[in-house]
Amino acid sequence: MIITIGGLAGSGTTTTAKILSQNLNIPFVSVGDIFRQMANEKGMDILEFSKLAENNIDIDTEIDRRQSEMAKKSKNLIVEGRLSAYFVDADIKVWMIAPLDVRAERISQRESKLLETARKEIKIREDSESLRYKEIHDIDINSLDIYDIILNTNSFQANSVAEIIEKVTKVI
């Protein structure tokens, strides 16, 4: 079974993917980790690399290629990334949402940043990504039509979110 899990920064996609991976005994790949790895390879932080990616289609193309290839080589995989549902032929496509303040609080705690700094960085990153996705792929990140499940992670703990997705995998 191939599952994609997408959502905006701080919505809990990585945490949910890890829990789901353990519960279903299916490996997972984080597109965010691929992006961060590519940023590190260039000696840049995530915001600098996001800005670079705005003017460099090769970065997005490489990320898309890597996740698509990984999914093609596996019968069972969870692919966690904002655009994964568009590039991976998945059995279940999940999108996770949460209010900006909740997401900023999560990132603030995770990365030991001031709440206001996290909030500002989220907005900068989302604006940058939205622009890139539209220009490069003609994808409107705000359109949720492609997803099978949309979950508000503000309403559930990460284990509960994973359990909801698990229940759906049993009916497919």
How far is residue 75's CA from residue 85's CA, in Å, rounded to a whole number?
16
Best CA proximity match to 140, nearest among 153, 126, 150, 154: 126
Residue 135 is given by DSSP the state: I
Asked if residue 20 is part of any domain, the answer here is yes
Signed CA dihedral, 5, 10, 11, 14: sign only: positive
Asked if residue 82 is part of any domain, the answer here is yes
Domains of the chain: total: 1
Asked if residue 16 is part of any domain, the answer here is yes
Which pLDDT score, from 0 to 100, does residue 125 have? Answer: 86
**31-84 tens-digit pLDDT:** 888 888 889 999 999 889 988 987 788 998 888 888 888 899 989 999 999 999
Question: What is the amino acid identity at position 66?
Answer: R
E runs forming strands in 56-113: 77-80, 92-97
Asked if residue 171 is part of any domain, the answer here is no
Instruction: Say which CATH number the domain at 110 has.
Output: 3.40.50.300
> Is the pLDDT at 96 greater than 90, yes or no?
yes
Asked if residue 17 is part of any domain, the answer here is yes
Domain range spanning residue 131? 2-165
**105-131 tens-digit pLDDT:** 999 999 999 999 999 999 998 998 898
Asked if residue 172 is part of any domain, the answer here is no
Asked if residue 150 is part of any domain, the answer here is yes
Which pLDDT score, from 0 to 100, does residue 57 have? Answer: 86
Asked if residue 132 is part of any domain, the answer here is yes
79 contacts 100 by C-beta, under 8 angstroms: no
- pLDDT band at 132, cuts 50/70/90? confident
Average pLDDT for 21-27 = 96
Which pLDDT score, from 0 to 100, does residue 172 have? Answer: 76
